[in-house]
Amino acid sequence: MTIKPKSKPDFFDKVYKVVEKIPYGKVTTYGAIAEVCGIKSAARTVGWAINGAKESGLPCHRVVNRNGELTGKLHFGDPNLMEDLLRSEGIEFTDNGRVVMEKFFWQPEL
């Protein structure tokens, strides 16, 4: 009989655990998620993971780029949906359409 060692969660699983924890009314960044998941340079991979989970019920709309830009908005079908969801949670935007990161950024942890 062969006993399989317990496998570690893969990177995407870690990303989903972090996204699941993003509080209502807050946002975090692809880079912050990548760093807490152990690969600081993997922000783009976080984006791929989130794109694959957009219909999972996870609050993927709460992940923005480091400048507060809604770079993932095209993956929501309607280009206004991501911003509409964030605004419905009370998240504010600057005049140039970026999330006010100083007020609404959430630092993730695993």
Distance of alpha carbon 8 from alpha carbon 28, whole angstroms: 24
Q: Is 60 a catalytic residue?
A: yes
Distance of alpha carbon 7 from alpha carbon 101, whole angstroms: 36
Q: Kindly state the tokens that stand for 50.
A: 């989130």
Q: What is the DSSP letter of 68?
A: S
Q: What is the DSSP letter of 8?
A: P
63 and 46 Cβ atoms separated by less than 8 Å: yes
Considering the candidates 49, 50, 60, 91, report the single residue annotated as catalytic. 60
106 and 28 Cβ atoms separated by less than 8 Å: yes
Give the residue numbers annotated as catalytic, written as ranges. Answer: 60
